[in-house]
Amino acid sequence: MKESDTQQYFQEHGDKLYRRSLYTFWKRSAPPPSMELFNASTREQCTVRRERTNTPLQALVVMNDPQFVEAARNLAQRALNAQSRFGRKA
């Protein structure tokens, strides 16, 4: 079995771009920074509810992380398509 090489990540293009956005590499020693900023649990214990926080770093992640930007772009495209299908009511 080929070992996982998570040292370098190469972004796909075209249709393959969205295939990889569903997966997140999670290492025990270094969790994904965006998950850490949103108070994800350390996975050492089960967490039922996260703390409620609102920091400027969370806003920066949502505005600049490619995964959030692409999700927002895709949502906007779907809204525009729905508007053109149903007229101005949507």
Angle (CA) 36 21 42, round 5°: 25
Quote the pLDDT of residue 90.
46
Q: At what angle do helices 56-64 and 66-86 cross, to 10 degrees?
A: 60
Between CA 22 and CA 39 the distance in angstroms is 19
pTM: predicted TM-score of the whole model, two decimal places: 0.59
Cβ atoms of 6 and 25 within 8 Å: the answer is yes
pLDDT averaged over consecutive 10-residue blocks of the chain (90 residues)? 65 71 66 80 77 85 86 90 73
Quote the pLDDT of residue 76.
93
